[in-house]
Structure 1
């Protein structure tokens, strides 16, 4: 392999008769004047006598052609492989044409490929097209995980891609971008598994109910058990918000997460909410004020002149006091606040607190928060603000030498569908806290892992703070444009984004100083959503069929003349209630499948 054509300090063309080049592989150029230079293949082509090498080809030029002839290549006879190579570090001056090129040993490029130890890093996958280099790799870096490719599961033969945990302090946040079916969710699962292995406290907002780590992959020997590494919480069932501890700011955030508050509503909440309020006391105050505003002072006074129960009289007195104190608050504002509050209450949000989440975090677990997207937005507004403030207060007091309260650890916040929590161009309740963490979280050891199919819809301030970006297959032009703006991904790689196989990704990180092509490792745990829908239909039908056969077998043979009695007996034991017609159709279907026999008789068919 030799350098051909006119060169620059940044890129060269390398030609070979015998070896085909692969995108993203590393080569060492032995420049006689500058010493070894490391470069990465960004384009690769092969030419032979059946496809003449055009001197006007955009990839190469007349200088490359003339250089190849001077180096002894037969343009008309030889197959010629040409690679466009970008140097990892700019050379002092243009590379010498004719310089020999060789594949690197691991020691020559270790500094470019490995940026952390396997003990203190996240093993996310393999660096593509590094098999030859990996042969001379340290033994403790070989075969660390499994890769699923071309329908097969094999141990990795490439150099592992390790994201150094300690680099989070300098480059704190991770963005995961990719369309449906690109492997984005598996990439998120792999990152979370690695965080769990290191006992990093992590809060996961899971709108798809898929972040369950209890089932290990059967195909991977020694996959490990993650059952004790995570805790799963349903909003309203296991966790919620303790109303008594809500500040005015927290309550405003919760109510606005249900539906945006008008200025009049916000002012009303500020005035009406009192320290020490329970849900019952605050909701009663709203209901009494709404009724008082609707009745008016004169009707309330008239009612108080009438004979009534003491409890009812006390209620009207409260209404009169509220009307005197808050008569300037518009009735629609009070009704709007009450409606939002009732919706929160009906979701079960005020039935519990976030203590279980904090306990899981203190144990270094993954705390998986599940619920509908709207409820996740409501709850996470309160929860993220609470735990972030607790961590920030602890760290600030530590720096001042005035530690108050118990230790609260650094932690990671991870979510899919991140554009719903921090959307571009509109305000949501969660956007404020996520933006604040994106900008300031590094100082306090709070980090984000945000995944989305639509990076264009994610708030630009948040996107800019995602230092490490993992980019899977992306098809939309607007999303690709956003990615190229926000990363150091090259034009050649951007053109490949719509065609990346599922599980392949580009990683853009300041830690590496370049875009790295990787394949994500096979996860150790299985998502509950991995079953093919067609298989699900077939399995359900087979299961239902077996259940039905088991039920019917107790009543066989069934005579057509006695169907009504058979339906009555079967319905007594069955959850599904049959009629004579539907039972006959079911039995005929089982006969067609060969599971039952139907025999004609003078008194009608007999099913046996």
Structure 2
């Protein structure tokens, strides 16, 4: 391998007759005067004498051709492999043409690839095209992971990528971007497994009900178990909002997530809500006020002077009068709107629990997965993130002021479909607290991991604060443009984004100081959504056919005209509620599939065992 063509301080061309270059391959240039500069292949090209085309385009220009001829390449006869190599550090002068090039040993580039030990960092994958370095790897970096490659699971044969999570103190927050099927969710799962390994408290908002780590991957022998490292809670069943702890502003945010609020509705909340209100006291006040306004002041006063009323009725109308005197100027339509929104959240179970189990999980250093519908997660996230961030902030502020405060651990907030929680261009319940964490969370030890298919739709203030970005396959031009603006991906790497394999990722991180191409390791746990929906459909049909055959077994051979006689027993045995026509259709289907045999006789149509 030799340097050819015109060289600059930051880019060179390398040629070889025997070695086929690969993208992101690392090379060392044997130029002692420049301290053996190192670089990475960013573009490759091969010329074969049987396909004499392409030298008028791409990286093989006239200067490269002349150099190749001068150093002994036969353009008409040889297979020539060329690579454009970008240097990691700019050279002080152009590199000498003709200089030899070789693959590095690990010790020469260890500072570029590994920033921390596997025990202290997140072991996320394998740096691509580093198998040439594998033989010189130290033992403590070998055999750490498995990689899925072309439908096979293989052992690590390159340099492991270990994300230095401790460096997030200086370069906080992570963005995970990628389109559907790119491996984004898989990469997020691996990241969460590593966070559990380090026992870092984390809060995960899971709108897809897929962040469950109970099922171990069968392909990896002796995979670690995470059963004791996480808990899963559902909004309305296990956790909820303590209404009495809400401020008036919190109530506004919650109700706006249940349905957009008008200025008049906001005024109703600010006027009617009282400090330390329970759900019952607030909803009763709103409901009584709505009923009082519907009756009208004259009717309420008239009822109070009715001698035939019971004490309970007198108390009820006295409450109506008091509310009318206090809030009678508020519009009925706005009060009804607030009443509907409060009831909607209550019906979803939001006010029937508290967040104690989440706080206990965070204190225990566990991953707390919160599941629910997207709109409910938006509502709940604003409350729970605000509450936990407030506790952590209070502890740190008290410590800085040398006061005694109740300890609350640092933690990570993880969201999938992050553009729903912090959208660009409009408000969302949790957006303000997430923006605050993005800008100031580093000081308090609270960090964000945001995963989204649409980085363009994510709030720009938050996107700008994501110091490490994991970019999987992305197809949309607007998203690619956003990613290129927010990372140091080159033009060539940007062009590769729509064609990345599932599980391949560009990691652009201020911690590493450059963009790296990585293949995410095989996860130790399996997602509950791994079954192909078409396989699921086929499996359900097979199970249904087995169930029907088992129910029919004692009735075969069965004449078509006898179905009516056995209908009740057939339905009972098959656990169905079908009529005669449906049973005929199913018998016809089973016979067409060869499960049972259909025979036509002069007297009847019979279904028998095959």
Return the TM-score normalized by structure 2: 0.96
Indicate yes or no: 2:330 matched with 1:329: yes
Indicate yes or no: 2:454 matched with 1:454: yes
SS at match of 1:351: coil
Indicate yes or no: 2:73 matched with 1:38: no
Query: Aligned residue for 1:180?
Result: 180
Deviates more, 1:144-153 or 1:264-273: 264-273
Query: Aligned residue for 1:393?
Result: 394
1:387-419, Cα deviation, whole Å (9 max, x unpaired): 1111111111122211222x2111111111111
The count of aligned residue pairs is 607
Moved over 6 A (4+): none
CA distance in 2, matches of 1:148, 1:40: 24
* CA RMSD after TM alignment: 1.7
CA contact (8 A) 1:7 1:97 kept: yes
Alignment of structure 1 residues 30-429 onto 2, 5 Å: 30-52=30-52, 56-306=56-306, 307-405=308-406, 407-429=407-429
CA contact (8 A) 1:172 1:447 kept: yes
Following superposition, the deviation at residue 158 of structure 1 comes to: 1.2
Alignment of structure 1 residues 13-28 onto 2, 5 Å: 13-28=13-28
Deviates more, 1:190-199 or 1:76-85: 76-85
Deviates more, 1:274-283 or 1:479-488: 274-283
Deviates more, 1:252-261 or 1:108-117: 252-261
SS at match of 2:30: strand
Query: Aligned residue for 1:8?
Result: 8
Following superposition, the deviation at residue 122 of structure 1 comes to: 0.6
Following superposition, the deviation at residue 511 of structure 1 comes to: 1.4
Following superposition, the deviation at residue 53 of structure 1 comes to: 7.5
Following superposition, the deviation at residue 229 of structure 1 comes to: 1.8
CA contact (8 A) 1:561 1:603 kept: no
Query: Aligned residue for 2:536?
Result: 536
Following superposition, the deviation at residue 598 of structure 1 comes to: 4.5
CA distance in 2, matches of 1:513, 1:162: 14
SS at match of 1:82: strand
Following superposition, the deviation at residue 601 of structure 1 comes to: 6.1
Following superposition, the deviation at residue 79 of structure 1 comes to: 2.2
1:432-468, Cα deviation, whole Å (9 max, x unpaired): 1111111111111111111111111111111111111
CA distance in 1, matches of 2:243, 2:121: 40
Return the TM-score normalized by structure 1: 0.96
Q: 1:601 to 1:72 in 2, by over 3 A?
A: closer
SS at match of 2:158: coil
CA distance in 2, matches of 1:591, 1:10: 72
CA distance in 2, matches of 1:65, 1:588: 72
CA distance in 1, matches of 2:186, 2:593: 39
CA contact (8 A) 1:39 1:85 kept: yes
CA distance in 1, matches of 2:182, 2:231: 27
Query: Aligned residue for 2:572?
Result: 572
1:283-316, Cα deviation, whole Å (9 max, x unpaired): 1110111222233322211121222221121111
CA distance in 2, matches of 1:526, 1:341: 38
CA contact (8 A) 1:380 1:430 kept: yes
Alignment of structure 1 residues 462-501 onto 2, 5 Å: 462-501=462-501
Q: 1:404 to 1:568 in 2, by over 3 A?
A: same
CA contact (8 A) 1:507 1:517 kept: yes
SS at match of 1:96: coil
CA distance in 1, matches of 2:82, 2:390: 57
Query: Aligned residue for 2:442?
Result: 442
1:309-330, Cα deviation, whole Å (9 max, x unpaired): 2112111111111111122322
Query: Aligned residue for 1:508?
Result: 508
SS at match of 1:397: helix
Following superposition, the deviation at residue 76 of structure 1 comes to: 2.6
